[in-house]
Amino acid sequence: MSSPDEADRAARAVLSGAATPLDQTYALQALGIVQRERGEVGLALRTVRRGIRVGTKHGLTARITDLEASLGTVLALAGRRRSAFAAFDSALDGAEPAARARILVRRAAASFFFQDLDGARHDGDEAAAILARLGDTSWEATARTNLASALLGLGRFADADVEYGRAQELAERAGQRYLATIVVQNRGDCAHRMGDLPRALRLLYDARRRYEELGVVPPEVLRDLAVVQLAAGLTEDAATTADELVTVLDGARDSALRRSDGFIAAAIVHLAAGNAGRSADLARRAARSSRRQGHDDAERHARVVLLRAQAAAGAVTKRHARAA
C-alpha cells in the first residue's frame, strides 16, 4: 500500500500471465487490499475469495491462512461482523507464532472498527510483543498503530500518543509510506482529543497531502479534517472538506458503514456551518444507507441529526419528531 497504483498494475500483470498458483494467491491478495482501501469492498471480497479458492485447489495451507485473515478485514469493512470473526478464527486455528501475530494485527483492527476496544487493545498488545521478539519491524508498526487506536478510544490519550509515535518511527524505518500516513492521520485525531487544535490541523493537512501523493484518499482523513476545521472555527473550510468527503463516499458504494458514518459527519459539519438544507439531505442519505444494512445505531444517529437540521431550517413537524 506504499504504492497502491503500482501494486495494482503489478498484480494484474501477474494474473494476466502464466503465474504459478502461489504467485496468483499473492497477486490476488495484493489486488484485494488495494480494492479494499479504495472503498471497493464488494470487489475486494470477490478478489480475496478467488485467492482462497486458488490456495485451496493447490493445497497452499499457509497462503489460505493469510488470505482468510485478509478476508476477515474486508468482511469487517462490509459490516459483516459475525462472518469477519469466523474468518479470523479459521485463520488462527493452528497458526505458528509469526502468522498468529499477523492475524491478531488484523483482528485488532476489526475489533476497533466494531468498537470492541478492550479486544483491540488485547490483540494489538499481544501481536506487538510477538513481532518485537521476531524483529518484524513492518508488522510491529501496524500492531502498535492498532494498540494506540484502542488506547485512544479508551481515553488514554497520552499513552496513545506515545504508541503512535513508536508506530510512525517503525513504519518510516521499514519504508511503509502508506502505514506512516495512516499514523500521521491518527496522531492528528489524538492531538484533537487532547485539545491541541493547531497540532491536529498540521498533522491532518500533512496526512491528506501524503494520501494524495500515494493516490489513495480514504474518507476517514477528510472526515477527521472537517471535524477539526470546524472545531478551530474554520467553518467554510470545513464545509468544503465535507463536500470532498461526500464525493469520495459516492465513489465507494459498497461500504455501508463507512458511508453512513461519513454522511453523518458531513451533515453535522454543514449544520454547524449554517447549511441546514444540505445537512438535512446528507442526514437522510445516512439514514437510508443505515436502514438498508440494518445498522440501527447509525440510523438513529442520522435521524437525530436530521431533526436538528430541520429545526435549524424551521421545518420541524410532529411527523418529523416521531420519525426521528
Q: What is the pLDDT of residues 148-165, one digit of tens each?
A: 999 999 999 999 999 999
Pick the CATH number of 218-324 from 1.25.40.10, 2.40.30.40, 1.10.3720.10, 3.30.390.10: 1.25.40.10
- Could you tell me which CATH number the domain at 97-216 has? 1.25.40.10
Residue-wise pLDDT tens digits, 204-252: 999 999 999 998 888 999 999 999 999 999 999 999 999 999 998 887 6
**Which grid cell is 173?**
524505518
Given a cut of 90, whether residue 203 has pLDDT beyond it is yes
Q: Residues spanned by CATH 1.25.40.10 within the chain?
A: 97-216, 218-324
pLDDT > 70? residue 105: yes
Residue 253: pLDDT above 60? no
Non-local (6+) Cβ contacts of 107 within 8 A are 69, 72, 85, 88, 92, 119, 123
% of the chain exceeding 90 in pLDDT: 78
What confidence score (pLDDT) does residue 291 get?
A: 83
Listed residue (194, 114, 184) closest to 150, CA to CA:
114
Rg (CA), the chain: 20
Band the pLDDT of 180: cuts 50, 70, 90.
very high
pLDDT of residue 250: 84
Question: Does 294 have pLDDT greater than 90?
Answer: no
Give the pLDDT score at 318: 59
Confidence of residue 319 (pLDDT cuts 50, 70, 90): low
**Cβ-defined contacts of 96-103 (< 8 Å, 24+):** 97/130, 97/134, 98/130, 98/134, 98/136, 99/62, 99/65, 99/66, 100/130, 101/126, 101/127, 101/130, 101/131, 101/134, 101/136, 101/139, 101/143, 102/66, 102/69, 102/127, 102/139, 103/65, 103/69
Assign 263 a pLDDT band (cuts: 50, 70, 90): very high
Q: For residue 63, is pLDDT > 80?
A: yes
Query: If you average pLDDT over residues 312-323, what whole number do you get?
Result: 68
- Of 105, 138, 140, the residue nearest 121 (C-alpha): 105
Confidence (pTM)? 0.74
Question: Rounded to whole angstroms, how far apart are CA atoms 5 and 3?
Answer: 6
Q: Is the pLDDT of residue 194 over 80?
A: yes
The confidence score (pLDDT) of residue 316 equals: 65
Q: Are 31 and 47 in contact (CB under 8 A)?
A: yes
15 contacts: CB under 8 Å, gap ≥ 6: 24, 27, 28, 31
Question: What's domain 1-95's architecture?
Answer: Alpha Horseshoe (1.25)
Predicted local distance difference test score (pLDDT) of residue 133:
98
Letter for the amino acid at 57? Answer: K
Instruction: Please give the mean pLDDT across all residues of the chain.
Output: 92
